[in-house]
Amino acid sequence: MESRDNVKGIAARVAVWSARHRALAIIGWLVFVVGVTALSGQAGMVEAGSGDFGNGESGRADRIVAQAGFPEQGAGEMVIVTSKSTVDDPDLEAAVAEVTAAVNGTGATEPVAAPVTSEDGRSVLLTFTVRGDPETAKDRIQPVLDAVAGVQRAHPQLYIAEAGDASGDKLIGDELDEGLNRLSMLSIPVTLGILLVAFGAIVAALLPVGLAVTAVVGAVGLLAFASHLAPAVDTTMHVMLLVGLAVGVDYCLFYIRRERDERRNGVDPHRALVIAAQTSGRSIWVSGLTVIVAMAGMFLTRDTTFVSFAVGTILVVATAVLGSLTVLPALLSALGDRVDLGKIPGLYRRRGGGGRVWGAVLRLVLKRPLVSTVVAVAALGVLAAPALDLRTKGEGVEDLSPSAPITQAFLAIQAAFPGGTGPAEVVVKAPAVTGAGWDAAVAEFKRQALATGKLHEPVTVTVNPAGDVAVISVGLSGTGSDRASEEALAALRGTVIPATLAKQPGAWVGVTGGTAGSKDFNDQLAGSMPLVFGFVLGLAFLLLLVSFRSVVVAVTGVVLNLLSVAAAYGMLVFVFQYGHFESLLDFRAADGITNWMPLFLFVILFGLSMDYHVFVVSRIREGHDRGLPTRQAVTEGITATAGVITSAAAVMVAVFALFATLPLVSTKELGVGLAAAVLLDATIVRAVLLPATMALLGERNWWLPRWLGWLPEVSHDVPAQATDARELAASSV
């Protein structure tokens, strides 16, 4: 204990304690995970309801409708019957009658409404609602789908298809849920497979996966308690799994690889553990804090989904950091050399390292740092260039897989009956929405709406039992998420409503529906994005400044991460907005990127990129603090970390790429954006641009103004030989 002062930093001191009390640390971790999971079952998960969503005018309109006491409406369904040949197809009327009888005969629906014929006379639309709770209607819709399919088989010369809320949940929701569950299950074996290649030993590969999975389980338990303050959305746990798996595996990789490298260099096992804790452990908590700061930026959006994602990801990152700094040192101390049990022939290597390829690349980069910097920036600039044309849009029918039958049905209905699949709902709250004056106002509203040419039939009016809230449904031009729909919404809000319904005494009038909700979400997001970007960039800069005591390192860290994000944006535009690789990814290009994607990708990518940056620069700073010239420190730091960065990036790329297999365009965008950005970050940015930039800057990398000399010292040096090894050794007897 006489050399206790050689152990510096929270991470190293926690590791020393965990190694001395490893049974307590390991059992304590398991008790924490199991206990939180059990208690969360008692507390229950509070899921976000319809009243928790919505922004601006459409959000207020939704809340008014929810509180107005309208009778519960069943899930709405539509069946389109279209002639493939003539306008006056004699089979059309017969097929419509058969569909009506077949649907009514199932007993699962309310009576089918009177048929509506399209303007060209070739299509007929039948509408009805499914009886019972709309939330569970998908469980009762199959007999109706079978009945409609039977009529289609009897009339092959016609196109007969069903689409709606229940069928969409059944055919799309189930496929999405199945895909998410498959992704969650595949991510673990894929990660394990990559780690087996990286470590070449079964036990060493199992440790990161086991710790990451238990961290996710514990964090999900904590989410149940947090949901009582911020309701959770149903996809939060999937995001937590993927983020938790990514950072959890990364942190363990950093820690285990450093500990193994030190032991292979002939260092005593216990001292190797302390070195790993004081270097990689310090990088872990700095990186974790930076990731948490990035995720916290989502709170500024004040959107239910983003807030839920922020809570979930912060919890899982914090839990992964806690496990990496406590139970992992205890496990490594207990295992000792047995961490290499289960060596895989051909994969296990006695020496770590970055490999010949990265070594050759680094030599070339450091030989011509200016040329390498220019080439790397130019490459990232080319990839990022399409981002200058980035546009956003709400999610709509076109975001579903174009090969799915229900997608084709939605598009057919939209083409024959504009606005039929995504009408606007005008909500009017007034002292009274009945009587002659009200009827006249509605008639004038309908006349002016149809006169715009952008608003269409059917126009329906529903009044609540109290007679003080009315909902007027009107069709919008376009698909519900394109420019035509936005123009129709603008005409409705800006011209038609002010000239008609808004003149009712004491009336508040607002528009909701898919297009209105998307527009209001976009507006709120546009207002909050500068705050989110400023918050994340500012705090990340401060964390790097304090961690490395260098203004230059902090600035270059922020700039390099922004280049990665910009390149990811550019690739998203190139693929999903310009329409490349449509057949391979099974999607249809649209006029923009999903509206929530840029902000979400920025937050996630900026946080995850800091993992690599902090880890690599810490190793470089470690060499510099030992007295090495900057260029030599860069060479040593990049070479020593290339292997673990490659392995960590491979895990992230493989897991994120699984998102591209899901049926929604938004999930494909998420997968492609995350996977591509991580790949670029681990190659062009960390292996080329970072070392080239630091080589050019030389000693200027570590510049700190004198007036910032008060910043706390954060040690990056390796502990001396006399470190608390005696105490650790005593604990292992």
The pLDDT tens digits for 666-706 are 889 988 999 999 899 888 998 899 999 999 998 899 898 98
- Short-list 262, 325, 252, 355, CA closest to 25: 325
Q: Is the pLDDT score of 227 beyond 60?
A: yes
Extended strands (E) in 521-613: 593-594
Q: Is the pLDDT score of 38 beyond 90?
A: yes
Q: For position 523, what pLDDT does the model report? A: 86
How does residue 498 score in pLDDT terms, banded at 50, 70 and 90?
Answer: very high
For residue 473, what are the β-bridge partners?
425, 460
Q: Is the pLDDT score of 648 beyond 60?
A: yes
459's torsion region: left (phi>0), alpha (psi -120 to 50) or beta? beta
Q: For position 50, what pLDDT does the model report? A: 65
The pLDDT tens digits for 355-410 are 577 778 888 999 999 999 999 999 999 999 999 999 888 777 777 777 788 888 88
Q: Is the pLDDT score of 351 beyond 90?
A: no
**Average pLDDT, whole number, for the chain?**
85
Going by DSSP bridges, is the β-strand pair 392-393/116-117 parallel, antiparallel, or unpaired? unpaired
Q: For position 61, what pLDDT does the model report? A: 92
Q: Is the pLDDT score of 728 beyond 60?
A: no
Q: For position 5, what pLDDT does the model report? A: 42
The pLDDT tens digits for 239-253 are 888 888 888 888 998
Question: What is the C-alpha to C-alpha distance for residues 719 and 486, in angstroms, rounded to an integer?
Answer: 63
Is the torsion defined by CA of 267, 268, 274, 280 positive or negative? positive
Q: For position 646, what pLDDT does the model report? A: 83
**pTM higher than the cut 0.75:** yes
In eight-state DSSP terms, residue 70 is P
More confident site: 121 or 292: 292
Q: What are phi and psi of 9, to 5 degrees?
A: 95, 155
Instruction: Please work out, in degrees rounded to the nearest 5, the angle formed at the alpha carbon of residue 602 by the alpha carbons of 600 and 603.
Output: 70
Q: Is the pLDDT score of 449 beyond 70?
A: yes
